Structure 1
Amino acid sequence: MTEVKSIEKPDDRRDFPMGHLEIVNMTGLVFGKATFEPGWRWTESVKDIAGTELCEVHHNGYVIQGRLRIRMRDGAEAEVDAGDVFVVEPGHDAWVVGDEPAVVLDFAGGIGDYAKA
């Protein structure tokens, strides 16, 4: 089997304050491309949509552009920058650092539930 789709023609697009998510659903893979504008923060832009205090989605990601700061429920923090590959467990907040949009590719199946009521 071969399956090919373009993120330029996503199966779903979810808009939220200061950003959006484009999703492609494939056999065995939910692929997302998220764009976060400067000033975006999960607890301010997505929290009310998700209905949880922190992001409860697991992320396997790659940063194409920009920088994000991530704070886990236990207070541990990390920063991811363009070119970084990362794994983040559920229970975190995240925000854009600097004046450049952050663009992130996400390969975790949980991204299909991101920014969804």
Structure 2
Amino acid sequence: MKNVIEIKNIDKPDERRDFPRGHLEVLGLSGLSFGIITLEPGWKWSESVGPIAGTELCQVHHNGFVVQGRLRLRMADGNEAEVGAGDVFVCPPGHDAWVLGDEQVIAYDFAGGAAEYAKAPAG
């Protein structure tokens, strides 16, 4: 079996998923689903993506890096954190999130959760 190096460019995603006040671009590689998420001011997960996912809170695990803007994250137990440009973060399933201020948020997701994010449940 050969070792294979895979390379994709974020300017040519494999898929784009649009939702209210934002979109997700996904690049699929062996063992990695890489996501680039763009969120507009006023975006809130529970209002924009929750109805698509069919859940009250986001059930995707995120390993992320914020390129631009600020997000507030709130876990089901009330624990909250704020992330902004330059921050690397881990956020487990069971959270809501929203854009802070009037700057667009751009973030990268390395967790593989991009494969299922903003997709309607099967069935």
TM, length-normalised to structure 1: 0.99
Give the 3-state SS of the residue equivalent to 1:111 in structure 2: helix
Q: Whose radius of gyration is greater, 1 or 2?
A: 2
The answer for the alignment partner of 1:73 in structure 2 is 76
Q: Which of these residues, 12, 17, 42, is aligned with residue 15 of structure 2?
A: 12
CA RMSD after TM alignment = 0.5
Q: Give runs of aligned pairs for residues 47-66 of structure 1, distance below 5 A.
A: 47-66=50-69
- Determine if contact 1:58/1:111 at 8 Å carries over to the other structure: no
Which segments of structure 1 move beyond 2 Å, counting only runs of 4 or more? none
The answer for the alignment partner of 1:37 in structure 2 is 40
Residue 31 of structure 1: CA displacement?
0.2
The C-alpha deviation readout for 1:57-88, integer Å capped at 9, x for no partner, is 00000000000000000000000010000000
Q: What letter corresponds to residue 107 of structure 2 in structure 1?
A: V
The answer for the alignment partner of 1:2 in structure 2 is 5
- Structure 2: distance between partners of 1:70 and 1:96: 9
Q: What letter corresponds to residue 15 of structure 2 in structure 1?
A: D
5+ residue gaps, structure 2, are none
Residue 7 of structure 1: CA displacement?
1.4
Identity %: 68
5+ residue gaps, structure 1, are none
- Structure 1: distance between partners of 2:114 and 2:13: 13
